[in-house]
Amino acid sequence: MQSISFKLFTSIILLITLMSCGEIKKFGKKTDKMRKLSKKIYKNSAESTKNLCHAFIQGRQGNSSISRNDSLMKLVDPMSDFSMKLMFAGKFIQGFEFQLFTKNCGEGSKEYERLVEDSIAEFYRSVSSLSGRINLKTDYTKLFTSRKKKHNDEQVFAAIGLTMHKINRMQEYNKGTLQRNPKSLHSFLEETIKKDYEGKAVPHYLRDITLHSFKNIVLDLFEIKMNSLLVLALKEFAEDKDTVKGKRKRKMILYVSSFGRLGKIALKSEYDKREVETQKRINYYLTKSLDTYNYLHSVGRPVKFQKKLRHIFKNIMVSKSQKTQSLSTAKGKNMVKFISLMDEVNQTK
């Protein structure tokens, strides 16, 4: 009886083992199929990712190109006033592809440098057609309000000069991914010209900036920016010249009619009447104008502020009460800074 039971048990175990081996073989075949399917899915996924990356890069190129071209066309249109030109110039500057660069598709430093190089070359082509017609001695006090076609080129140059520092917010957004601080077109131009002037090595992708013709155009842009910033400040703090009456009015007319040989433009400062934020903006304009003046001198461009602007700033009438404001207030501190900046402007040669 025990022998029969043992044989039966052994048979059952053998049957289970044989069944298990069959199941294992079936499972192995299923595993092979799953492995092949996974490889196929991975291959298709990688191909899809590659196609998506190509589409993303093409979209970035196309959209940024359309944005720049559209903004540039509107910028050079004589019918657009100066405030509109500033807006279109800002969009043009922020539309260069390096401003939109990401590492999402495995792009690295070489791709970024190529985009910077391409952007600089395009910028040069865009501004070089205008540069020969620019009058750096133009009357900047009329530049922002003039609707005359003859002033259009200077207005376009001024708008570009005043917005070259603009940084697309995508640079700030991608800062962590790129491990690079946001950088403007202005910074690339300014730093490269300085390095070249000092005889330092310039990266290969920035060498176009050191070309004589390109460098001169950039320095012209900086000079027109320098004078334009003074005008922006003047419009914020000085009395409206159209409200001037009496003896001062007659002297002003004489100055204009004699082309600056006689008379005087003496405008009252209304800085103390401005809000704190407006005062800060005025000081910012004056600071940046002086910074540009000093930079141009540091790279061998011995510029002067435009003659009429120098005359106006020299004769600005700042009341005694403005000069003696309390330093304990925000306005008082701003005033001290303002008077110091005005003195710096008037001490330039």
Give the range of the structural domain holding residue 295, as residue numbers without chain letter: 48-237+269-347
Count of structural domains, the chain: 1
Q: What is the pLDDT of residues 307-333, one digit of tens each?
A: 999 999 999 998 877 777 777 789 999
Q: Are the beta carbons of 119 and 185 closer than 8 angstroms? A: yes
Inside any domain, residue 12: no
DSSP 239: P
Inside any domain, residue 144: yes
Q: Is the pTM of this model over 0.95?
A: no
Query: 46 falls in which pLDDT band (50, 70, 90)?
Result: very low
**Comparing 75-84, 166-175, 186-195, which segment has the lowest mean pLDDT?**
166-175
Does 274 have pLDDT greater than 80? yes
Please report, as a single letter, which amino acid is at residue 71.
S
Between 54 and 191, the more confident residue is: 191
Query: 21 falls in which pLDDT band (50, 70, 90)?
Result: low
Give the C-alpha separation, 285 to 3, whole Å: 109
Does 341 have pLDDT greater than 90? yes
Inside any domain, residue 261: no
Q: What is the pLDDT of residues 284-294, one digit of tens each?
A: 999 999 999 99
Q: Are the beta carbons of 202 and 196 closer than 8 angstroms? A: yes
Collapsing DSSP states into helix, strand and coil, what is residue 102?
A: coil
Does 157 have pLDDT greater than 90? yes
The sign one gets for the Cα dihedral 172, 176, 181, 186 is negative
Inside any domain, residue 7: no
DSSP 268: B
Q: What is the DSSP string of 297-312?
A: HHTT------HHHHHH
Inside any domain, residue 107: yes
Distance of CA 213 to the CA centre of its chain: 22
Collapsing DSSP states into helix, strand and coil, what is residue 95?
A: coil
Contacts of 60 (CB under 8 A, 6+ apart): 97, 100
Q: What is the DSSP string of 154-169?
A: HHHHHHHHHHTT---H
Inside any domain, residue 18: no
Inside any domain, residue 30: no
Give the mean pLDDT of 261-282.
93
Inside any domain, residue 21: no
Give the mean pLDDT of 73-89.
94
